[in-house]
Amino acid sequence: MTTRPRSAKAKSRILEAVHDTAADLHRLGFIDKRKMRKYDALCLDPVPEYDACRIRALRESLQLSQAVLASVLNTSLSTVRKWEIGDKKPSGPSQKLLSLIERKGLEAVL
């Protein structure tokens, strides 16, 4: 079943109401998964992009080393290094985790 994750934030109160109604209809079987994903895309804020400066600033604000951040995100140290110098960008799952850490704190993923 596809429903809005607790951490997902609607773009507005109206879209939140639309999404909640669609989620209820999906739960009851009136809306299929495919249509529910369209409501998710329409109503929910996208995960922000993380560039090198933003990743470094987040890591430093949490007082983490690159190695510890890599461990928390279940990625390699070299990947975090490449993110911070701009050689690579985080993929979808890593962006989602970075967003969660930024919004809710490190405890949200530990």
Q: pLDDT for 16-30, tens place per residue?
A: 899 999 999 999 999
The first and second tokens of residue 86, run together, are 């701009």
Query: How confident is the model at residue 8, as a pLDDT?
Result: 63
> How far, rounded to the nearest angstrom, does the alpha carbon of residue 62 sit from its chain's CA centroid?
18
Q: pLDDT for 34-79, tens place per residue?
A: 999 898 888 877 889 999 999 999 999 999 999 999 999 999 999 9
Rounded-to-integer distance, Cα 28 and Cα 17, Å:
17
Structural domains present in the chain: 1-46 (no CATH), 52-108 (1.10.260.40)
Rounded-to-integer distance, Cα 19 and Cα 36, Å:
9
With bands split at pLDDT 50, 70 and 90, how would you rate the model's confidence at 9?
low
